[in-house]
Each structure stands twice: as C-alpha cells, then as structure tokens.
Chain A
Amino acid sequence: MSASNKLKNKYSWIVMGAVAIALLIFGGLRDSGPLTQQDRIDAITMRLACPTCQGESVYVSRASAAEAIRAEVARQVGSGLRTDDETIAYIEQRFGGQVLLVPRSSGVDSLVWALPIAALIAGVAALGIAFRKWRTTDDGAASAEDSALVDAALASKDLTGSGS
C-alpha cells in the first residue's frame, strides 16, 4: 500500500467514526415517540415480582396475585398522579414483602451486583498476567529438556542416510 493510499485510508476511518458517532448521538437522544398507557403498565410490571411465583415478573405471570398487582398498577397509571418509580414505591408499601424483581444494592444482596464486576476484573487481570508471562518467558530458546529430546530423537535416526 502506498503512503498516499494509507493516508486516504486514515481519513476515511476518521470520517466513518465521525459519521457513526453523530448518528448514534442523533438517534440516541431523539424522542422515541409517545408511550401508550399500556406500555407504561408493561414497563412497571416488568420490574415487579409476582408474590406467589418463583422469580417471575408480574408482567409474565398469569397467577391471580399478579393479576391483582397488574390491576392496581393500571389504576395508578390511569390516574396519572404518580411516576413509574413512585408507583413502584406505592405498590411496595401497599402489598408489602418482596415486590422488587431485583435484589437491593445494599447489605449482602449487593454481592449479586458486585461479584460479576469482580469476576470481569479477575478475568481481564488473569488474561493480562498470562500475556505478560508469555512475553517474558518465551524467548524462543530451547530449554535443556527440549535439547535432550532432540538429541534422543537424532540419536535414534540414521542421519547419514537419504532420510525421508
């Protein structure tokens, strides 16, 4: 590749990156259009746990306890007085118990959030250590063990012959 070609290539990458970032910012920030009331109910009930089913959200569950919470959420959204978060707080207070579908980020429960991040850091660190080790240990020279293997192999072959 000639120098001018390389340069051209570099510029087109810069243009491409700029176009991509501009598009992402434009698309990411523009208004996503109106939500129906039902969309809001869905979004809220997806964050609430059905009290009688294991780990299912109110949105997914067809159990009667979930129906009751769904109806209450629909009433709250219909009245238009509370935001999504306020509705969830209200449901939590009204129905009690574990209504949130995600563990809290406090106490022992926060481990469920912290451990995956720790795992990622550990994984990346292990990879970094491995690469560092590879870089420092592999100097391309044969170890004594390698030489012994080669010597043994050579000794067992007749090297003066025509070979294969």
Chain B
Amino acid sequence: MFAAGGVSSPLGRALLLVGIIGSLFGAIASISSARSRDQAVARLIPRFAILIFAAAVGAFATMEYAMITRDFSMAYVQKVGSTATPALYNFAAVWSALEGSILMWVLILAGYTLAVCFWLRKKMDDVLANWAMGVMFIVSTFFFLLSFGPANPFAKGAPGVFDGPGPNPLLQNHILVMFHPPLLYLGYVGVTVPFAFAIGALVTGRVGEGWLLATRRWTLFAWGFLTFGIILGSWWSYEVLGWSGVWAWDPVENASLLPWITATAYIHSVLVQERRGMLRVWNLSLLVSTFSLTILGTFLTRSGVLNSVHAFSESAIGPWLLVFFGIIVIVSIGLIGWRGDRLHAPGSIDSVVSREGAFLINNVLFAVFAFVVLLGTVFPLVIEALQSRNIVVGAPFFDQLVAPIGIALLTLMAIAPVLPWRKASAELLSTRLFWPAWCGVGALGISIVVGATGFMPLLTFALGGFASGSALRQVVLATRRQGLRGLVGRTNGGMIVHVGVILIAVALAASNSFTHSQELFLKTGTPAYFSGHSFELVKIVEEKTDRAISVKALISIDGGQAYAPAITKFTKVGMNIGTPSVKTGIRGDIYLTLEPPVKQDSGEAHIKVFIKPLLVWLWIGGFLMALGTLLAAFPGRRRKPTDATSALIGSNDE
C-alpha cells in the first residue's frame, strides 16, 4: 500500500497530459485533412483516437487503482476513500464526487470518439467526417483540460492521512450507484456525437444530405441511455432517500431532464427531415441545444452556482464550463446564420392534421416543457443576481406547469400514431381512432370501478388507455403483416417506447394522487392496521460493521414475510441514514421507513407507512422504454439515409 503510494498521482497526470496533446493533435489532423484533403493526414486520425482512448482508460484505471489500494497520499482518495468501504462501493467511489465524475466523462467521451472513428473508418476521405472527428477531438481536448486543470482528481493530499470518510453514505447504500451514473453519462456524453455531425454539416454546407440522419442511431442510443439513466436515478431515489418519492425537481435532476427533453423532440422531428427534407434549421438547433444543455446543466449543478451565486468565484470549474457553453452557443448560432441560405428547405407542410403536423405540435410542447424546466431551475439565480433576494422554485411549481403539458402530450400520443403523412381526412381518422378511443373509455371505466377519483388522474388514465390503443394498433397491424419483424424498426420500436411512457405517466398519476400514509407506533406482538394491511413488529436487530451501526426493525406485513426498514449510523461521517424497505406489488407498493429514535431492547418501533398505488409500473415502463429503444435501433427494411432519395429501399442492403 505504501509502496504504491505516490505513483498514481504523477502517472494519472501524465496520462491526462497525453490525452490533452492527443486530442489537440487529433483535432489539428482532422481539420487540416478536411481543408487540404491530404489522405496521409487523414490516416493519422484513428491513431489519435486510439491514443486518447488509451490515455483515458489509463487515467481512469490509475484512479481506480489508487482507490482500491487506498492511496491516501492523494487528495481525492482522502475525500471519498475509506478503509472501511466495501469493495463494490469503493469501486464506485471514484465517481462519487466532482473530480472523479469529470474523469468518467473524459473516459466515456474518449470511448465515443474512438467508436465514431471506427464507424467512419472507411469514410475518412469525406470532408464532413473529418470535421465531425475534429469537433469530437475539440470537445475531448476541453474535457481533458478540465480534468487536468480545475477538476484535477490526481492532486496530492495533505501528508499524514491514513484514512478517510468514504463516499457520501447515501452513495454506499444501494447497488444502483454502480449503474445509474455511468448509464446517465453514456447518454449525456453520447449527444456529443450528433452535435459533432451537426457542426460538420454546417461547416461543409452539406446540410441537406443524409449524414444527420445516418447519425440518428447514435442519437437514439444516447437518448436510450439518458432515459434509462434517469429512470435508474429515480429508482435509487425511491429505494434510498426515504421520502417515498421518485422525482423531487431538484436542479441536478432537472439538469439531466433538460437534454432529454430536447433530444426527445429531435428524434421525433428528424423524421420530418428524413421524409420531407424540411425543418433543417430547427433540427440542427435542437441538437445544438441538447449538447449545450448538457454543458449548462453540468455548470449549474457542479460549479456550486446554484447553492449560492456568491460561491461562484470559489469554484474553479464553473467559469470553464460557462465559457465553453458560450463558445458552443455563439459558434453554432453563427454557423446556422452563415449557412442560412442553404438551410432553407423547399416544400411545405399541407395540414396540421398529418404526421408531420403532429411532430411539429410535439416539438412546440417539448420546447415549452424544456423552457419551463430551465426557467424554474435558473429563476432563483436570476432573482438573486438582480435583487439579492432568495426565492425557492420547488416541486409544486413544476408539478402545476408540467401536468397540463403531460396531458397535452398524452393526447398527441393518442392521435399522432394513426396519422398519415401529408394530410388526413376526418373519415380516415374516425376509422383508425375508433378502437383506440374505446380503449381509453375502457381504461376510464376500469379506473372508476377500482375507485379512482379526481379529474386530472382520471383524464390521465383515459388518455393513457387511448394512447396505448393507438400504439398497440400499430404494433398489431405490423406484426400481422410482417410477423416478428413487425416488432423492430423505429416506428414499431417507437410504439413500444410509447407504451413505456404511458405506463410511467399512469404510475406517476396514480402514485402522486392516491398515496396514503400513516405513522404507526408498533409494539412486539401487537399488530397495527392501516389501509387494509396489518403491520407487526417481529423484533429489532442491530448490525455492526467497520463503517456503520445499523438498526433494523423487522416488520411482518399481513402476517407474511418480514420487511426491515433501518436506520444506519455511519460512524466515520457521524451521519444517520434511514433506509426504507419496500414491499412491491402489481397493484401497489407498501413503503416502510423507520423513524428515530429506536432502542434495541424496547420492543417498540415508530414507523411510517406509505401505500403507493401502481408504483411498480413506473419501473416496468422504464424497462419497456429501454426495450423499445433497442427494437427501434434494430434495422428494419429501409433506404439508407446516405443513399440518393430515389434509391429503392433495401436495394443495397448491408
């Protein structure tokens, strides 16, 4: 342990330096080969991509090594390392604070750069491909610099430290910390790829070609990871935080939601460009917004600016991100303005009641949605800057404004999937929407029979039924025609994603509107009753480990299996963390938390019980969204976007 001490720090910094130089030369090689068309230079590009990936893997592995060997000579290990952290959480501790998470960003970005380079390996003579690689390298340069400079994870720590507090107790409490951040980052960083191609298309002026559409699958993967990462984050919140909720509209959550919203708008509206060649400026703007929102979100949440405007100057990473954000926005707007003439697309959209009309309405709704979330997140900053006054924009604000947008989106999801391109007649709509609409009425009837009340939740259930009817109609018709192939391809996969979204909407409406909770004071041997269930304290057990003392109350629900909500005292941090215990069911969850104080031998426990209807369908919906995304990415039979528009579909299949 001491032999290794001290090696990691210089090694890690050296590797980051290699990454900076490699990215810089990669960018120079890409751009100069784009300008000079020199194939000898173009052949160098993949080498730089391999180099920076190797450097990033090396730096990340060095950090892991330092963490695993508990190299307390390093400041970062002193901050989040501890001799008592179990191996798994210690591994995840690398990304449990700012510097390490930027290092993970670097690793994933270098991975994407190499993957794009491999994807383009036979197209390195294309100017647009060169420019896209150039942008990837420039963004990589920035993040390597960020990690080398202001967010340095390899800084030397104070001497004489032999142990640390370990990661935040909340981050060593549940297995999901292993998966949620990496998946979210795969999505977050993944949007760099379509952004790079958007800039490439603008610089070369080849905005009308299929390149942007060819990168659609990259966007889809990034979007899928972002979706799944956000869902896992909510799951973690539900399983760990103990307030029985999945989403608190806190700035960090909003920062991950914002690029998701604009990316969702993009993957819909890009279909109009593919089909009709229209909306080019709009689609480029959505890609630029998505990428810049990932940077802005990181700035807002990782620079300390949202805790207080006054902490701004103390944070080293803040100005870097803000300047980078500014450059992205200025360069992109400049390029779009410069290419304005070529971006103007011929053609027109004939009717609002058409597939493309529905996509446009979808985009207006998503744009307003993004605006609401952004406004609510930055509004306290604006007020503090203007009037030096603290205000809070919390969950009720977002709930009130997002609920109507959600209802409007559900309505659109009910109607849009049956719309044809160009225009639709009332007769066609009446025929195609007939059974889906009855599904909606059926869902409404069932909700009322099982006891649902309230106008908004009932409307959500009705529209949810209607929209799933429309989505399933498409899948049923497609599978009837094509067998199992009717499940793949973006339209059918997209409909599966829609069903996932509907399940999430229904689960959120049900659990937000119909949650009941009660505090119970339990004594061993005497069951208490709430909401048709019995709760009996079996016993209280105490578990001691190196890092924590955990007190668990074993509570038998309905005389069955015992659930064990706990309070854990992390001795090194001196922090008490409550851990809920959840009995999951198809119809609803029973969510138990243990309330302090608890005495082991008292035979008494004070618990809080939440009954959360239909909550499990939120996670099922999330998995369905991931599955649908995979199916949508699976190639169906269609024209390759880079082929001429007149080429026959499937004429030269790979």
A-B pairs, top 6 by smallest CB distance, nearest first, are A101-B394, A134-B348, A138-B348, A28-B455, A32-B453, A123-B364
Chain A residue nearest in CB terms to B430: A9
Does residue A89 face the partner (Cβ distance < 8 Å to B)? no
Contact across chains for B375 and A9 when beta carbons are under 8 A apart: no
A85-127 with Cβ < 8 A to chain B: 98, 100-103, 108-109, 111-112, 115-116, 119-120, 123-124, 126-127
Bound CA–CA A12/B453 (angstroms)? 26
Contact across chains for A101 and B395 when beta carbons are under 8 A apart: yes
Contact across chains for B434 and A12 when beta carbons are under 8 A apart: yes
- What residues of chain B lie closer than 8 Å to A120, measured between beta carbons? 364, 368
Q: List 30 A-B contacts (CB under 8 A).
A: A6-B427, A9-B430, A9-B431, A10-B430, A13-B430, A23-B441, A23-B445, A27-B453, A28-B453, A33-B451, A33-B453, A46-B395, A54-B306, A55-B249, A55-B250, A55-B394, A56-B248, A56-B250, A57-B248, A57-B395, A98-B391, A101-B397, A102-B397, A112-B379, A115-B375, A116-B401, A119-B371, A127-B361, A134-B348, A135-B348
Does residue A147 face the partner (Cβ distance < 8 Å to B)? no
Contact across chains for B350 and A102 when beta carbons are under 8 A apart: no
B332 to chain A, nearest CB (A): 20
Taking Cβ atoms with an 8 Å cutoff, the residues of A that contact B are: 1, 6, 9-10, 12-13, 16, 19-20, 23-24, 26-28, 30-33, 35-39, 42, 46-47, 49, 54-57, 59-60, 62, 98, 100-103, 108-109, 111-112, 115-116, 119-120, 123-124, 126-127, 130-131, 133-135, 137-138, 146
Contact across chains for B392 and A26 when beta carbons are under 8 A apart: no
Q: Given A28-B453, A36-B517, are A103 and B395 also a contact pair (CB < 8 Å)?
A: no
Contact across chains for A24 and B430 when beta carbons are under 8 A apart: no
Q: Which of B306, B347, B372 has the most CB of A within 10 A?
A: B372
Bound CA–CA A103/B401 (angstroms)? 13
- What residues of chain A lie closer than 8 Å to B455, measured between beta carbons? 24, 27-28
B393 to chain A, nearest CB (A): 6
Contact across chains for A1 and B431 when beta carbons are under 8 A apart: yes
Q: Given A31-B453, A39-B517, A120-B368, are A137 and B348 also a contact pair (CB < 8 Å)?
A: yes
Does residue B493 face the partner (Cβ distance < 8 Å to A)? no
Q: How many B residues, CB 8 Å from partner?
A: 68
- What residues of chain A lie closer than 8 Å to B307, measured between beta carbons? 54
Q: Which of A42, A57, A112 is the one whose CB lies under 8 Å from B375?
A: A112
B279 to chain A, nearest CB (A): 10
Bound CA–CA A16/B352 (angstroms)? 25
Bound CA–CA A9/B433 (angstroms)? 11
Contact across chains for A24 and B462 when beta carbons are under 8 A apart: yes
Does residue B115 face the partner (Cβ distance < 8 Å to A)? no
Beyond the given A36-B516, A46-B395, please list 13 additional residue pairs across the A-B interface where CB-CB is below 8 A.
A1-B431, A9-B430, A20-B441, A24-B455, A27-B447, A28-B453, A30-B453, A42-B515, A54-B251, A55-B392, A103-B397, A112-B397, A116-B371
Contact across chains for B243 and A60 when beta carbons are under 8 A apart: yes
Q: Given A28-B454, A102-B393, A119-B371, are A109 and B383 also a contact pair (CB < 8 Å)?
A: yes
Q: Given A54-B306, A56-B250, are A26 and B375 also a contact pair (CB < 8 Å)?
A: no
Does residue B586 face the partner (Cβ distance < 8 Å to A)? no
B352-393 with Cβ < 8 A to chain A: 352, 360-361, 364, 367-368, 371-372, 375-376, 379-380, 383, 386-387, 390-393
